[in-house]
């Protein structure tokens, strides 16, 4: 019997039904208003890209797989695949998350925020499972999509899964902070990993009018590239949390030490528990001292993410509040490899 007749709890029929439920849930949340992106999410099988994931259990991870001989565990696996939640794909020996598949509703909002049109050439930085690249390829065609990740183990697996699902975008193994010069220019760059600063190589590989969408700290930054190569834009209201961009050298930006330093300075719990303040703290690469950040947060009445922006001009970039030429502007550090 085929899976549909067999009643396999993780078979094609069950997966199709779970996929449709996920799509309807994302729609109810206000995303997938573009019917072409809805069609992509309805068509691309997420289960093909996460045959194994690690579910957080009691401080550790339980491995769930689509080929588990236990039908009940396969059903749990499929339920997890189509839960609107991020999935841990790779965990190192110390239990740290190395690679993940993002929350589908967040992916939908980010893809719609790219404002793609037919013919757009897109670079995705952070291949992960390959699922996001498949969505892009479904919408724009294989030839329009390039995706890059640092490790051959990740890109080889993603390339294989993409091909098995019927998609063949260009999958590159390399340092995402350097972009992909051989495939440039790009009309859109989408990062699915957290940054401490915008790699200056990216605007240089973009066409005039291109969009760069990238998580910076816990904010989602949307830049527009001008004809002279200057990239500027604001943060979207959406809070985001991603695995940091991994490069061969040290990463740019702050780590947990910056926020720990803020705690050590005795700032009020009200501030430390406020999402808007924590966002400001997370842009540690701007060199804002915790007390300085707190004073600004109070003075400007808890400014939301969308009041902040970033400008990238050549090798220089700065983080600002309200106006890129205004009184509140702080230099952002670049990537040590010169990207």
Angle formed at CA 125 by CA 121 and CA 131, multiple of 5 degrees:
85
Catalytic residues, by residue number, are: 102
Angle between helices 12-28 and 71-81 (to 10 degrees): 30
Distance CA 43, CA 84 (A): 16
Classify burial at 96, counting beta carbons within 10 Å of its beta carbon; exposed 0-12, middle 13-18, buried 19 or more: exposed
Sheet holding 329-331, edge to edge: 170-173, 145-149, 122-125, 186-191, 206-216, 219-225, 231-239, 308-313, 316-321, 329-331
Distance CA 188, CA 129 (A): 20
Q: Residue 67: CB partners within 8 Å, gap ≥ 6?
A: 51, 74
Query: Which value, in Å, is the radius of gyration of the alpha carbons in the chain?
Result: 21
């Amino acid at each position: 019997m085929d899976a549909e007749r067999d009643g396999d709890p993780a078979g094609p029929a069950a997966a199709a039904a779970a996929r449709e439920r996920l799509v309807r849930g994302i729609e109810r949340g206000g995303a997938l208003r573009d019917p072409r992106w809805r069609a992509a999410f309805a068509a691309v099988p997420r289960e093909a890209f996460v045959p194994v994931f690690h579910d957080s259990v009691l401080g550790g991870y339980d491995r769930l797989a689509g080929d588990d001989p236990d039908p009940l565990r396969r059903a749990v696996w499929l339920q997890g695949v189509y839960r609107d939640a991020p999935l841990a794909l790779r965990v190192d020996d110390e239990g740290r998350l190395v690679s993940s598949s993002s929350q589908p509703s967040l992916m939908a909002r980010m893809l719609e925020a790219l404002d793609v049109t037919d013919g757009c050439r897109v670079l995705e930085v952070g291949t992960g499972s390959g699922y996001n690249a498949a969505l892009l390829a479904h919408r724009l065609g294989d030839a329009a999509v390039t995706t890059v990740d640092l490790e051959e183990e990740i890109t080889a697996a993603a390339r294989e899964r993409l091909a098995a699902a019927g998609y063949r975008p260009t999958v590159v193994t390399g340092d995402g902070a350097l972009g992909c010069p051989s495939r440039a220019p790009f009309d859109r760059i989408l990062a699915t990993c957290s940054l401490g600063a915008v790699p200056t190589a990216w605007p240089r590989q973009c066409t005039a009018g291109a969009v760069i969408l990238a998580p910076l700290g816990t904010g989602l930054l949307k830049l527009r590239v001008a004809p002279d190569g200057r990239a500027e834009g604001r943060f979207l209201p959406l809070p985001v949390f991603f695995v940091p961009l991994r490069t061969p050298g040290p990463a740019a930006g702050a780590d947990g030490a910056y926020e720990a330093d803020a705690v050590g300075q005795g700032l009020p719990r009200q501030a430390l528990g406020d999402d808007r303040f924590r966002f400001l703290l997370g842009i540690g690469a701007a060199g804002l001292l915790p007390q300085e950040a707190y004073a600004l947060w109070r003075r400007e009445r808890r400014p939301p993410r969308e009041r902040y922006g970033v400008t990238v001009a050549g090798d220089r970039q700065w983080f600002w509040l309200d106006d890129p030429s205004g009184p509140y502007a702080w230099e952002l550090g670049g990537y040590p490899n010169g990207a």
